[in-house]
């Protein structure tokens, strides 16, 4: 984690009570500045306040700089929230991928709040980048980001981990051109026992509505596997290329209704300049029929690279930095940090930060080898 742009509150369906709660959380978070965590981590700056936790820049007594995430006091009383918070570190580290933000330690503050110690990064979230430049990213950069994210998903799925909340807010772009995935707070492990009692809860969809697949919106964990993350990845690339979502809507409720009843808008219907081979790869990630969606992250990644080559785009890379999937493939780095693509008007505010508790969605505030066989594994808490 690192310093990042804080997304502005949307004007659409704004809930003043949520704003008041956020301000109260920020005040409490600022009161911790200057204090120590576990008598060794000095909290030096407040990096951000989200729906679940506050994130600080901190420094160890030996000088090492880190980011520390501390759960909000009102949420520490919930057993489910507490378990989800602490599980984030274990699942993130279990992926064992260099492009996943590392969790270095965990524990409890003196006043009884759980915390995670994470590597410190400098840069901004993908969502923050898009908000700052007020236009879509250049196509080569989106392809680079996409290939890195697919590499991470391939590693996670190979270990039975489904992120379940991949979105621009959870993708971090570092100053040196790297891409990092974080926030495994609602990720799930998969096992081969579909009748597991923990996997049969229905009616509560966890995730972010605008980057959520139809099967995830149903709220039945038995329907969720790695292909759920592929939908979220497709929606993330869609947003990065268009500054818009697969469905046009004025509220979360309208968006969810369309998600459950209609097909997404084809990518090229929003921007016909996007090459057809690229659009076909992303559109396939957004198919509701699980059998017609990309079956695993590796297949989609290879096809995305192939499509890029067809249209004359070489995905930039850092020489000598080996990749996860193929030992001969360098890890991908962004080539064009400044964005020079002609400006496009954003058609919507980002709905993902709207309060969704009334709709049953647990969407925290804003501050996803051999592939497993789809459909045979069942997520469990």
Main-chain phi, psi angles of 126, to 5 degrees = -60, -40
Query: Catalytic residue among 165, 169, 183, 283, which?
Result: 165
165 is catalytic: yes
Q: What is the pLDDT of residue 317?
A: 54
26-57 residue pLDDT tens = 899 999 999 999 999 999 999 999 888 999 99
Q: What is the pLDDT of residue 325?
A: 42
Task: List the structure tokens of 239.
Answer: 């947003």
Task: List the structure tokens of 128.
Answer: 């923050």
300-309 residue pLDDT tens = 999 999 999 9
Answer for the pair 86, 381: CB distance below 8 angstroms, yes or no: no
Q: Which residue has the higher pLDDT, 25 or 324?
A: 25
151-182 residue pLDDT tens = 999 999 999 999 999 999 999 999 999 999 98
Domains and CATH numbers, the chain: 2-121 (3.30.200.20), 123-380 (1.10.510.10)
Q: Are strands 114-119 and 103-108 parallel, antiparallel or unpaired?
A: antiparallel
Helices (H), the chain: 16-31, 79-95, 126-133, 139-158, 214-218, 226-242, 252-261, 267-270, 276-285, 297-310
Q: How far apart are CA 150 and CA 282, in angstroms?
A: 12
Main-chain phi, psi angles of 89, to 5 degrees = -65, -40
Report the pLDDT averaged over residues 247-251. Answer: 94
Residue 369 has pLDDT above 90, yes or no: no
Report the pLDDT averaged over residues 246-267. Answer: 96
64-88 residue pLDDT tens = 999 999 999 988 888 888 888 888 8
Residue 316 has pLDDT above 50, yes or no: yes
Task: List the structure tokens of 185.
Answer: 């707070």
């Amino acid at each position: 984690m690192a310093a990042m742009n804080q997304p502005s509150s949307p004007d659409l369906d704004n809930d003043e009570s949520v704003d008041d709660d956020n301000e109260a959380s920020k005040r409490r978070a600022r009161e911790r500045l200057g204090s120590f965590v576990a008598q060794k981590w000095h909290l030096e700056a407040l990096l951000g306040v989200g729906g679940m936790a506050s994130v600080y820049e901190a420094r160890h007594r030996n000088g090492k700089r880190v980011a520390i995430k501390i759960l909000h006091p009102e949420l520490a009383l919930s057993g489910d929230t507490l378990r989800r918070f602490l599980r984030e570190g274990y699942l993130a580290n279990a992926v064992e991928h260099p492009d996943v933000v590392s969790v270095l330690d965990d524990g409890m503050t003196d006043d009884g709040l759980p915390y995670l110690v994470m590597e410190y990064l400098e840069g901004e979230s993908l969502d923050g980048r898009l908000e700052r430049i007020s236009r879509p990213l250049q196509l080569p950069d989106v392809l680079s980001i996409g290939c890195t994210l697919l590499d991470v998903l391939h590693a996670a799925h190979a270990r039975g981990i489904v992120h379940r909340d991949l979105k621009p807010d959870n993708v971090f772009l570092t100053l040196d051109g790297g891409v990092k995935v974080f926030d495994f707070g609602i990720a799930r492990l998969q096992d081969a026992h579909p009748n597991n009692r923990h996997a049969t809860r229905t009616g509560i969809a966890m995730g972010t509505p605008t980057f959520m697949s139809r099967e995830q919106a149903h709220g039945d964990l038995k329907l969720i596997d790695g292909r759920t993350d592929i939908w979220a990845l497709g929606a993330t690339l869609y947003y990065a290329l268009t500054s818009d979502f697969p469905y046009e809507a004025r509220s979360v409720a309208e968006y969810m209704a369309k998600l459950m009843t209609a097909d997404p808008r084809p990518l090229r219907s929003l921007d016909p300049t996007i090459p057809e081979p690229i659009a076909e790869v992303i559109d396939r990630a957004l198919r509701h029929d699980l059998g017609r969606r990309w079956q695993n992250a590796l297949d989609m990644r290879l096809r995305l690279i192939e499509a890029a080559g067809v249209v004359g785009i070489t995905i930039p890379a850092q020489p000598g930095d080996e990749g996860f999937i193929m030992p001969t493939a360098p890890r991908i780095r962004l080539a064009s940090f400044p964005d020079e693509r002609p400006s496009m008007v954003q058609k919507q505010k980002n709905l993902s930060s709207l309060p969704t508790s009334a709709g049953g969605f647990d969407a925290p505030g804003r501050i996803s080898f051999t592939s497993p066989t789809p459909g045979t594994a069942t997520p469990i808490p």
